Amino acid sequence: MALAGVRVIELAGLAPAPFCGMILADFGARVIRVDRTKGAMTVDTQARGKRSVALNLKNPKGVAVFKRLCVQSDVVLEPYRKGVMEKMGLGPEDLLKENPRLIYARLTGYGQSGSYAKAAGHDINYLAMSGLLSMLGRSSEKPYAPLNLVADFAGGGLMCAFGIVLALLERSRSGQGQIIDTSMVEGAAYVGSFMWKSRSLGLWNRPRGENMLDSGAPFYDTYCTSDGKYMAVGAIEPQFYQQLIKGLALDDADLPAQMSVSDWPQLRQTFTRVFATKTQAEWSRIFDGTDACVTPVLSLDEVLSHPHNQARGSFFKDSQGEISPRPAPVLSRSPAEPCHSRDPFIGEHTRSVLKEYGFEQAQIEQLLSAGIIECNEAKARL
Ligand SMILES: C[C@H](CCC[C@H](C)C(=O)SCCNC(=O)CCNC(=O)[C@H](O)C(C)(C)COP(=O)(O)OP(=O)(O)OC[C@H]1O[C@@H](n2cnc3c(N)ncnc32)[C@H](O)[C@@H]1OP(=O)(O)O)[C@H]1CC[C@H]2[C@@H]3[C@H](O)C[C@@H]4C[C@H](O)CC[C@]4(C)[C@H]3C[C@H](O)[C@]12C
């Protein structure tokens, strides 16, 4: 796999950093998640392929163990508020001094500088600060956050993984590590570059929800079918729009021009009325195999059995029967091989990882009895 041999230490976080760690693990990195001790519960639902070490970083001995792990690693990934790592003596200066090849990835909402750097926040706040949230939502409605996909995952976890891969690539030339400052505000804004760079085209001149790609245009929207399901329509280009009209059995001569913005409400009413006359399956049969850019809106339960997704193996079932998306993109020679086993319990791999990193059995027992580490391999065997 592309990242085989890369050793990553991920400090347990909420959503973006776990996703970043999972991407790295899917593509072959050996990812160790460092969890808190004392019966902490994991909130990591993105733990595929990771191992867990339970380590008390509030104790200097725990800090020393962490440093020893980092000396032998390529990447450390930390998702805490600015200053938290430094307070524990684990800031980039401390760790890079001991391992100059280390890539120190910081994944926060507001970045490491600026007046918001230390503030708590979540995806919706970062999305708001990126400018994107102001553009999301239906006409005459308040801004609407599309789950926590844009800032947490696209602008955060994925962007940080990209930064790590870039830093690994650069290190292969320079031999040096570096610090990555991932701000989810900036990551989300960067993902939204299209919005910025296409403003001059007039694509976003109208209020929220009234532009071509934000559900303003009737040919770029969803429509309810007679069985209460939905179809997604993305027929932008005239030749594809014509196929939409044909599939709906409408006559273009009876309709206003596609790009006549003032007629969009009327056109939407027509499409709404027609889509409501057939089931989703019926519309799918009509539009499948055409270039009308019309597809069913599939639920998470339906995607697995869709013939196209099945043909590509786009989703897979792990050993627990849990379905999730296959890692993307697909590399021809060194594709990702997602782990099929269950997620780790907190501390399940403390002992084996410490041994792998050169700790003696007696040292491990001392750390255990002092409450610096926790070992939960017994729980894993139950
Ligand atoms: C799904 C829910 C998650 C939603 C995601 C949400 C929408 C997001 O946007 S996530 C993005 C959040 N932002 C960031 O990550 C930006 C950077 N980080 C921060 O800004 C902050 O970390 C913070 C604001 C997110 C949190 O601040 P906090 O004050 O808590 O922490 P920090 O200041 O960063 O300091 C960390 C402290 O921790 C200490 N530490 C760290 N490691 C160790 C260690 N090994 N040993 C000792 N100490 C350690 C460190 O020293 C710091 O200490 P100090 O403060 O003293 O300095 C999910 C949200 C809730 C989940 C549910 C819940 O958990 C209950 C169930 C649990 C169960 O297991 C699963 C089901 C749950 C219902 C669960 C379900 C979901 O997962 C949630 C709903």
Q: What is the DSSP string of 30-98?
A: EEEEEE-SSSPPP--S--TT-EEEEE-TTSHHHHHHHHHHHHT-SEEEE-SPTTHHHHTT-SHHHHHHH
Ligand 1 centroid – CA 15 distance (Å): 9
Residue 153 lies in a domain: yes
Is residue 60 located within the same domain as residue 181?
yes
Residue 204 lies in a domain: no
Residue 39 lies in a domain: yes
Mean pLDDT of the chain: 96
Residue 40, pLDDT above cutoff 90:
no
Q: Which two tokens stand for residue 32?
A: 């160790």
Give me the amino acid identity at 232: A
User: Cα separation of 133 and 184, whole Å?
Assistant: 13
Domain end marker among 315, 340, 369: 315
Is 34's C-beta closer than 6 angstroms to any atom of ligand 1?
Answer: yes
Domain end marker among 267, 293, 315: 315
Q: ∠ CA(163), CA(169), CA(170), 5° rounding?
A: 90
Is residue 251 located within the same domain as residue 370?
no
What's 269's domain CATH number?
3.30.1540.10
Question: Of ligand 1's atoms, which has the minimum distance to the CA of residue 126?
Answer: 9
Give me the amino acid identity at 142: K
Q: In 3-state terms, what secondary structure has residue 185?
A: helix
Residue 227 lies in a domain: yes
Question: Of ligand 1's atoms, which has the minimum distance to the CA of residue 84?
Answer: 57
- Confidence tier at 39 by pLDDT (50, 70, 90): confident
Burial environment of residue 307 by CB neighbours within 10 A (0 to 12, 13 to 18, 19 or more): exposed
pLDDT tens digits, one per residue of 138-190: 999 999 999 999 999 999 999 999 999 999 999 999 999 999 999 999 999 99
Residue 60, pLDDT above cutoff 90:
yes
Is 109's C-beta closer than 6 angstroms to any atom of ligand 1?
Answer: yes
Percent of the chain's residues with pLDDT above 70: 99
- Burial code of 43-58, b = ≥16 C-beta within 10 A, e = fewer? ebebbbbbbbbbbbbe
Alpha helices in the chain (DSSP H): 16-26, 60-71, 84-87, 92-98, 123-130, 159-174, 184-191, 193-197, 238-247, 264-275, 280-287, 307-312, 350-356, 361-369, 377-381
Burial environment of residue 131 by CB neighbours within 10 A (0 to 12, 13 to 18, 19 or more): middle
| pTM, rounded to two decimals | 0.95
Residue 382, pLDDT above cutoff 70:
no
Ligand 1 centroid – CA 138 distance (Å): 32
Is residue 104 located within the same domain as residue 229?
no
Is residue 121 located within the same domain as residue 39?
yes
Ligand 1 centroid – CA 157 distance (Å): 15
Is residue 311 located within the same domain as residue 342?
no
User: Cα separation of 247 and 156, whole Å?
Assistant: 40
The catalytically annotated residue of 44, 123, 152, 181 is: 152
Is residue 307 located within the same domain as residue 344?
no
Catalytic (active site) residue 122? yes
Minimum mean pLDDT range among 8-22, 48-62, 143-157, 367-381: 367-381
Ligand 1 centroid – CA 12 distance (Å): 8
The catalytically annotated residue of 122, 263, 306, 318 is: 122
Residue 70 lies in a domain: yes
Domain end marker among 264, 293, 315: 315
User: Cα separation of 176 and 75, whole Å?
Assistant: 12
Residue-level pLDDT at 33 = 98
Residue 89 lies in a domain: yes
User: Cα separation of 87 and 78, whole Å?
Assistant: 13
Is 149's C-beta closer than 6 angstroms to any atom of ligand 1?
Answer: no
Is residue 36 located within the same domain as residue 163?
yes
Question: Of ligand 1's atoms, which has the minimum distance to the CA of residue 120?
Answer: 24
Is residue 296 located within the same domain as residue 175?
no
Q: Whose CA is nearest to atom 66 of ligand 1?
A: 43
- Confidence tier at 377 by pLDDT (50, 70, 90): confident
pLDDT tens digits, one per residue of 65-121: 999 999 999 999 999 999 999 999 999 999 999 999 999 999 999 999 999 999 999
Instruction: Spell out the residues 6+ positions from residue 345 whose beta carbon is closer than 8 angstroms to its own.
Output: 42, 52, 376, 379, 380
Is 81's C-beta closer than 6 angstroms to any atom of ligand 1?
Answer: yes
* Residue carrying structure tokens 């782990």: 339
Question: Of ligand 1's atoms, which has the minimum distance to the CA of residue 80?
Answer: 34
Is residue 61 located within the same domain as residue 166?
yes
Ligand 1 centroid – CA 21 distance (Å): 16
Tally of domains within the chain:
2
Is 125's C-beta closer than 6 angstroms to any atom of ligand 1?
Answer: no
Is residue 169 located within the same domain as residue 309?
no
Is residue 178 located within the same domain as residue 68?
yes
Catalytic (active site) residue 308? no
Is residue 29 located within the same domain as residue 174?
yes
Minimum mean pLDDT range among 150-154, 270-274, 316-320: 316-320
What's 123's domain CATH number?
3.40.50.10540
Q: Whose CA is nearest to atom 50 of ligand 1?
A: 84
Domain span at residue 259 reads 220-315
Q: What is the mean pLDDT of residues 1-19?
A: 97
Ligand 1 centroid – CA 14 distance (Å): 5
Percent of the chain's residues with pLDDT above 90: 96
- Confidence tier at 380 by pLDDT (50, 70, 90): low
* Residue carrying structure tokens 């009325």: 273
Residue 210 lies in a domain: no
Q: In 3-state terms, what secondary structure has residue 222?
A: strand
pLDDT tens digits, one per residue of 214-261: 999 999 999 999 999 999 999 999 999 999 999 999 999 999 999 999
ipTM: 0.94
Q: Whose CA is nearest to atom 65 of ligand 1?
A: 43
Residue 364 lies in a domain: yes
User: Cα separation of 263 and 337, whole Å?
Assistant: 50
